[in-house]
Amino acid sequence: MAPSSSSSRPVHLHSFSVRVLLLVLACLVSAATPSSAFRWSWMPIGRGNNSKNYGHDYRDALSKSILFFEGQRSGRLPADQRAAWRGDSGESDGGGAGVDLEGGYYDAGDNVKFGFPMAFTATMLSWSVIEFGDLMPPAERRHAVAAVRWATDYLLKTIAHPGVLFIQVGDPWKDHECWERPEGMDTLRTVYNVTAPRTGSDVAGETAAALAAASIVFRGDGADEEYAERLLAGAKTAFEFADAHKGAYSDDPGLRAGGCPFYCDYNGYQDELLWGAAWLRRASGDDTFLKYIKDNGKTLGAEEGFNEFGWDNKHAGLNILVAKEFMDGNALSMESFKQSADNFICTLIPQSSSQHIQYTPGGLIYKTGGSNMQHVTSFSFLLLTYAKYLSNSSHTINCGGISVGPETLQLQAKKQVDYILGDNPIKMSYMVGYGDRYPQRIHHRGSSLPSIKTHSQRMACKDGTPYYESSNSNPNPLIGAVVGGPGEDDSYEDNRADFRKSEPTTYINAPLVGVLAYFVANPNPGHIRH
């Protein structure tokens, strides 16, 4: 498995020793083909939301995609918590280091708070609200904004101490030896941080992007201007740290032991510096950040044209974000970013004569490495966002002699989201709780174990093993969770142990929120609604 941005899903699995975990990792590197030993075998039980004849209920899917984040919350839960099977957890996080790091999100099916993917999740949730929040029903917009705030309240805590950035809570190796609920976890809540001379431009740059993007949400939402100013000030602080101490956090041996192989910075820190600057420019309107991108773009690899976008690699999103400046006439010197954005989009258009991304026989975007749905939702979001920017500026794209306009991009995104919701060869939804058939045995500790609300007795590290190994459905459906998804042949094994396919992540759902919001208002795309 080649380490690159989102082409390499971090490892999340249950094991009984680090030795076993390392053995599994070694096997993964050898890149086995998708297993066919345990195929999905449910028969159709009705048409419902999964029927092409009836179309999809995008509003229902949107509601559930946002609800998912409540199931991922860490800390003391609010009175209006809707995922009622969850309880308080991690209330004393940071206490051992003398800091308050309560809150935030668990990244996936484990009980660790990884700052790098959490910040990216916050950026994408915010970008979803910025571009498509006006298309959300009012109640869902409020829930989406609350999901953003749950992340940004935590991220502000990570930069609250001058010269220090807290990047992780929880020892992932100890955590992955256990299968236990977050409400009763007894694994080490080790706190990891970066401070000079340790470098962390990647995490700090993404934190800057997240806080800057969120400041637009709260300023545009009109509900909390003071909070928006705090976020923008925090974004500038995080960016200054990132720029002053250049380097990847996982280059440090001590931090690498905690973050790798789960969320190593495989792609380098340079893209996060440009990404953070681009979001600060959009949030503040300050030409200083545009100048930073112009002056440092070549040095930091802006022209390298990576066709990737995810928690580790921001290049495609950066190009699209900066291309907007060019198309709006605000930065004519940034035309190269428009060309790079066009090149990326062309890789997603099967009709293009240029080289394009792999698709499964059923039509799903596919990249090797596991947790494939992170690519599907992120790329779909970029398709819709770029369609909006093109529409607003009357630009088009030339893809190998084919002129591509906004409608082509919208239709391509619709194919992807409809596949997720059930228009696929095995006729099942990959979103828990949506439609008639969806994954029942997802790789997620809290979902697969008895709820603290119904089983108050302590469950220690190994007490969850029988539940992990059981073929029973998870007792607590994590409504709205989108799993890693099928293999390259469209097969899906509803297997809790196959974390590459069955584990949900926050950064799968975050861009999907914006995608679904668009289709709530435009179920049959052909034009952008404002």
Q: Which positions are annotated as active-site residues?
A: 443, 494, 503
SS3 365: strand
Largest CA distance in the chain: 65
State the Cα–Cα distance between residues 346 and 238, nearest whole angstrom: 34
Contacts 24+ apart (CB under 8 A), 317-320: 317/275, 317/378, 317/382, 318/271, 318/274, 318/275, 318/278, 319/344, 320/344, 320/382, 320/385, 320/386, 320/389
Instruction: Give helix then strand counts, H and E, for the chain.
Output: 18, 5
State the Cα–Cα distance between residues 419 and 407, nearest whole angstrom: 18
Query: Do 288 and 198 form a contact (C-beta atoms < 8 A)?
Result: no
What CA–CA distances, in Å, run from 273 to 229, 243, 247, 254?
21, 7, 10, 23
SS3 113: strand
SS3 87: coil
Please work out, in degrees rounded to the nearest 5, the angle formed at the alpha carbon of residue 236 by the alpha carbons of 153 and 145. 35
Q: Buried (b) or exposed (e) across 327-340, using 16+ Cβ within 10 A?
A: beeebeebebbbeb
State the Cα–Cα distance between residues 50 and 369, nearest whole angstrom: 28
Cα-trace Rg, the chain: 21
State the Cα–Cα distance between residues 310 and 72, nearest whole angstrom: 19
State the Cα–Cα distance between residues 26 and 21, nearest whole angstrom: 9
CA dihedral 293, 294, 299, 304 (to 10 degrees): 80
> CB-side exposure of 22: number of CA atoms within 13 Å?
3
Identify the sign of the CA torsion 343, 284, 237, 94: negative
